[in-house]
Amino acid sequence: MSSLRDLSHWRLLAAVALSPLAALYGLFLLARGVRRGARRLAGARHALATVLVCQNGHPNATTGRWECARCKATYLGWIGRCSVCGAGAGWTPCGICGAGIPFPWAGR
């Protein structure tokens, strides 16, 4: 009978020893999920932004008339994706000083 009690004893010990690990793992999963969600939210917020600011602080509208770098078609509307071939744009030159502005939502 003592061996059975020992077994339950060890099981209890193992559960106590493993529970902080399990809690840590849970926290890790939670933190990763929150970080991923926050990143997605930030990307969505950037994509919804109507103005991109270049390194010199010039505002550039994200909607207008653009030329696709891949198919060379001119498309209207949101700058981030060509409405003709569907290619995603990665950057745009500032309309005022010409400095390249990388899109914050690109490359994710």
Contact positions vs Zn ion (CB under 5 A) = 54, 56, 58, 68, 70-71, 82, 84-85, 87, 94, 96-97
> CB neighbours (10 Å) of residue 52?
19
37 or 90, CB closer to Zn ion?
Answer: 90
| The pair of three-digit structure tokens given for residue 28, joined into one six-digit string | 């890790």
**Shortest Å, Cβ 39 to Zn ion:** 27
**Shortest Å, Cβ 68 to Zn ion:** 3
34 or 96, CB closer to Zn ion?
Answer: 96
**Shortest Å, Cβ 53 to Zn ion:** 8
Residue among 46, 51, 49, 63 nearest 104 (CA): 46
6 or 67, CB closer to Zn ion?
Answer: 67
Torsion of CA 33, 50, 104, 92, to 10 degrees: 160
> CB neighbours (10 Å) of residue 98?
10
